Amino acid sequence: MMNVVIVGAGELGRHVAEILSKEKHSVILIDKNSKVLQEVSAHLDIATRHGSGTDWQLLDDLLEFSPDLFLALTGSDEVNLVACSIAKQMRYPRTIARVRDSRYTYRTRLDFGQIFDVDYFIGPELLAAHELLKHITSPSSVTIENFAHGALQLRVLQIPENWQAPAVPLKDFNLSENIIVGLIRRTVSTKGDKEKMQQVIFPHGQDILLPGDEVTLIGEREAIATAHELFGIQEKPVKSVVIAGGSLTGLHLAELLAHRDLDVSIIEKSFDKCALLAERVPHCTIMHHDATDPSFLRAEKVGQADMLVASTNSDEVNGLIGLLGQEVGCTEIQVLLKNTDYMSIATRLGFRYVVAPKIIATNHILSQLFSGKVTSLISLYENQAEVLEINVSLQSKVVGIPLSELGPYLPTDFLIVMIQNRGRIMIAHGDRVISPGDTIIVVTSPKHVDEIARIL
C-alpha cells in the first residue's frame, strides 16, 4: 500500500482520494476550504489537512507520513506547478501536476517538467478530448484503449438488439484466436421486470453473449479493428462533427481535428469565447448561438451531422443538448459529464458515448501510481473492474502451468488476457504457459489486486 498526499479537494482530487481509499491506500487531502474538507471526511476514510499546497512548512510536517506520491490537483496550473516544485525540494519521491494549459506539456524551447520538478503532467480536459476523438475515429466502439505500445487494443462494443446469432458458449464462439472476451456488461431485470440493473460478468468458456450486451474485447490491433463485423455492426465513417460548447475540452477536440479531413462546426453562446475559438481553430465554422435552441439546431441542420459532441461546462446543459440532438435526428452523440453519478442516467437516456474527464484522469494517475510488479492501466464500469499489467516473478505460483489448469489458483472474477514474452505478444489461450519474467495483462475485480500480486 502507498502513502499519497493530494493537494486540491475539487472534483478530481476527491475522486482520486475516493478510489485510492477504496483500494486501501493511505491518503492525506489538503485544501484551503475547511467546509469542503469536513464534507469529505464525513464520507471517505482519509486524513485531511487545512492549508495550501504551496505551504512548505505543511509539506515538511507531512514528511513524517513517509509519502510515496504527491498529487497537485487544484484548478490552478500555477499553484500545482509551484506545489510540485516545493514537494520535490522537500524530497517527496514523485510528483504529478494537473494542468489545464496544454502548452506546459510541450517540450519545445522549455521543459516545464524539469523546471518545476514534475514527474508527470495530467490534463483532464485534454485527455477527455482525446477520448472524444477515439469515438469519432472509431464510432462503433463504446470504449477503445491501446496497450503494449499499440500492439494490443481493448475495444468495447454494444451488441445490437437485433443480433440473431445462436447462443453458444464462448469456447465455441467463432472468435479470432487473436481476440479474447475480457468483460460482459448485461442489463438484467429485477423485482419481476419492474427494475433493471447492470451486471458486470468476468467471462469464462461456458458464458454466452446475448443481444444488448456490452462486450469488452482485447486482442491484436489488426484483429480488433474488424471485430464489430462479428455482431453485424455497420461502422459509418464520421465526416462531419458539431461541437456544442466552446469549453476547454471542446477547444482541445477542435484542435485535434485540425489535420483531419472533417467538416467541424462549434456552437458557443459566449461572444468572447467565439472570438478565441476563431483565432485558435480557424479551420472550424464558429456559430455564435445557444446550442439548447431547437429551432437553431434544425435551421443549421445539426441533425445531419455524423457526430454531435455536447461539451459545455455544465452537465445539465450537455444532457439537454444530447436530448435535443436526438430530437433533431442525430444518431451519434457524445456527452461530456463531470458528475459521474449522472452516467447511469445518461445511459438510460440512450447516450452510448459518455465521457467523464475525472475518470479518465484518475485512470492515468493510477497507471502512474505503482512502480514495479503491478501497474494499473485503466478502470472500467465505475471501478468494478481493472485492467492491470503484472510482471511475473521467479517465485510465482503459476509459472509453468497451462492457463486452462489455473482455476484453483485464481479468483473467478479474474482473467489473464495477454502474455508478453521477450517482446512477443500472445493472447492468453488455455494452452499458454507463463514463464518467469513475462509481463501479463489481466482483467480483475479491484478487490483482488493485493492477492494477485502475491500469487504472481
Mean pLDDT over 410-431 rounds to 85
One-letter identity of residue 348: R
- pLDDT value of residue 95: 95
Locate 202 and state its grid cell.
Answer: 468476468
Beta pairing, strands 385-391 & 152-158: unpaired
Residue 422 has pLDDT above 80, yes or no: no
User: pLDDT of 174-221, one tens digit each?
Assistant: 888 889 999 999 988 776 666 778 889 999 889 999 999 999 999 888
Residue with cell 470504449: 143
- pLDDT value of residue 370: 59
- pLDDT value of residue 273: 96
d(CA 32, CA 49): 9
> Confidence class of residue 279 from pLDDT cuts 50, 70 and 90?
very high
Mean pLDDT over 151-179 rounds to 88
More confident residue, 394 or 170: 170
Annotate 77-94 with b (16+ C-beta within 10 A) or e (fewer).
bebbbbbbbbbbeeebeb
> Confidence class of residue 144 from pLDDT cuts 50, 70 and 90?
confident
Write down the pTM of the prediction: 0.79
Lowest mean pLDDT among 86-95, 208-217, 404-413, 425-434: 404-413
CATH T-level topology, domain 137-231 = Alpha-Beta Plaits (3.30.70)
> Confidence class of residue 371 from pLDDT cuts 50, 70 and 90?
low
- pLDDT value of residue 308: 97
- pLDDT value of residue 192: 65
CATH assignment of 360-455? Answer: 3.30.70.1450
Residue 372 has pLDDT above 60, yes or no: no
Residue 381 has pLDDT above 60, yes or no: yes
Beta pairing, strands 141-147 & 179-190: unpaired
Which strand ranges, in their side-by-side order, compose the sheet holding 424-427?
Answer: 374-380, 385-391, 439-444, 414-421, 424-427
User: pLDDT of 25-83, one tens digit each?
Assistant: 899 999 999 999 999 999 999 999 999 999 999 999 999 999 999 999 999 999 999 99
- Return the H-helix or E-strand segment holding 153: strand 152-158
Residue 424 has pLDDT above 90, yes or no: no
More confident residue, 215 or 451: 215
Contact by Cβ (8 Å): 232, 300: no
Mean pLDDT over 106-127 rounds to 87
Contact by Cβ (8 Å): 207, 169: yes
- pLDDT value of residue 121: 93
Q: Name 241's bridge partners.
A: 264, 307
Contact by Cβ (8 Å): 415, 442: yes
- pLDDT value of residue 270: 96
Residue 382 has pLDDT above 80, yes or no: no
- pLDDT value of residue 136: 92
Contact by Cβ (8 Å): 126, 395: no
The correct answer on CATH 3.40.50.300 for the domain covering 240-358 is no
Domain boundary assignment for the chain? 3-122, 137-231, 240-358, 360-455
Rounded to 10 degrees, the C-alpha dihedral 217/342/30/100 comes to 70
DSSP summary character for residue 392: P
20 — phi, psi (to 5°)? -65, -40
- pLDDT value of residue 105: 81
Residue 171 has pLDDT above 90, yes or no: no
- pLDDT value of residue 453: 65
User: pLDDT of 232-268, one tens digit each?
Assistant: 888 788 999 999 999 999 999 999 998 888 999 999 9
73 — phi, psi (to 5°)? -125, 30
- pLDDT value of residue 430: 82
Q: Which of 133-137, 318-322, 421-425, 428-432 reaches the highest mean pLDDT?
A: 318-322
Annotate 119-147 with b (16+ C-beta within 10 A) or e (fewer).
bbbbbbbbbbbebbbbbbebbbbbbbbeb
Residue 391 has pLDDT above 90, yes or no: no
The correct answer on CATH 3.40.50.720 for the domain covering 3-122 is yes
> Confidence class of residue 417 from pLDDT cuts 50, 70 and 90?
confident
d(CA 182, CA 156): 10
Locate 56 and state its grid cell.
Answer: 512548505
Contact by Cβ (8 Å): 167, 210: yes
d(CA 365, CA 193): 39
CA distances from residue 434 to 109, 162, 203, 240, 301 in whole angstroms, order as listed = 45, 40, 20, 46, 56
Locate 136 and state its grid cell.
Answer: 469519432
Reference 159, options 186, 190, 139; nearest CA is: 186
| 150 C-beta neighbours (distance < 10 Å), count | 8
- pLDDT value of residue 113: 86
User: pLDDT of 334-363, one tens digit each?
Assistant: 999 998 888 888 888 888 789 999 988 988
Q: Establish whether domains 3-122 and 137-231 are of one fold.
A: no
> Confidence class of residue 280 from pLDDT cuts 50, 70 and 90?
very high
